[in-house]
Amino acid sequence: MSEWLDPKVDFVFKKIFGSEENKDVLLAFLNEALKETQHKKLTKIILVNTFIDKDSLRDKLSILDIRALTDDDKQINLEIQLFDKHDIAQRTLFYWSRMYADQLEEGQMYKDLRQTITINIVNFRVVPNDRYHNVFHLREDRTGHILTTDIEIHFLELPKLDWDDVNADDRLTKWLLFLRFPNKVNGEELAMDMPELKKAMKTLDFISQSKETRAMYEMRQKAMMDEASLRDWAETAEERGMEIGIAKGMQQGMQQGIQQGIQQGMQQGIQQGIQEVAKKLLREGLDVSLIVKATGLSEAEIQKLQS
């Protein structure tokens, strides 16, 4: 068998779980993920955002999430995240609150708001425990009383699963092992009694053979790699600027006088250090707008460096 595409790439993930023809696949997965918290199985869902814009594949900041409505008007948002941006809690609450608030139309009452569930599948650790599935509600600290069931947030952490768990009876584990180890699963009898998981595997196998899908997959991977590269540059830009700045500041400070010279020299040196970082980013071919975000320099200053 040929190697499968990585189903954790959001574009591929959405093709498997977020298409009308695979709605039964999504329904089966959601029932396993929500088994601990929902009193009855979901029997019907309506997909809200099945369309994938090709331009979004090039956009580093695009969110290719999956949104569904249940037959009792609950909202579910399913999203997969490969990289730790160190803002997953705030990001989750922000998108949850937007979905929750967007339910109300003019003239409707607050009591008309329905439960909104966010499920995050992440390729990094979030919660400091050994559980791969953690669920959050709004509770009173001492008694554990739930204020409202309207908010429900799940984290499914793939790194907490090992291939040795493949024999586990937990069906949710099998779904997540398919996502984490697709090419180990390829050809294995992981889904013998799970027809929807078998269908997901067949879908991945099918799209992995498509030249067009592979081209789109590579486009999306490049966009995500560019984002990761920019984030690495941004996280270390200040540190590198400080190092260069301190060195230049000390050199200038010794010439101008100890106290005043070090102060002025460090300021100038830090600025020069940031400019050096900007030059390196320009040489890497990054967009001016991204360099503005990473360095804090104005667009005019960066264009001057470029010329």
Q: For residue 110, how many other CB atoms are within 10 A of its CB?
A: 6
Alpha-carbon gap, residue 71 to 192, rounded angstroms: 29
Tell me whether strands 75-81 and 66-70 are parallel, antiparallel or unpaired.
Answer: antiparallel
pLDDT in tens, the chain (307 residues): 568 999 998 889 999 999 999 999 999 999 999 999 998 899 999 999 877 766 666 555 567 799 999 988 999 999 999 888 889 999 999 999 999 999 998 788 999 999 999 999 999 999 999 999 999 999 999 999 999 999 999 999 999 999 887 776 789 999 999 999 998 876 667 888 899 999 999 999 999 988 888 888 887 777 767 666 666 666 666 566 666 666 666 666 566 656 665 666 667 777 777 878 778 777 877 777 777 877 788 888 878 877 7
pTM: predicted TM-score of the whole model, two decimal places: 0.72
Three-state SS at 257? coil
Q: How far apart are alpha carbons 27 and 71 in whole angstroms?
A: 12
User: Do 215 and 247 contact (CB within 8 A), yes or no?
Assistant: no
Q: What's residue 43's pLDDT?
A: 93
Residue identified by tokens 């099918």 is 206
Whether residue 135 contacts residue 152, with contact meaning beta carbons closer than 8 Å, is answered with: yes
Taking the C-alpha atoms of residue 121 and residue 264, their distance in angstroms, rounded to an integer, is 49
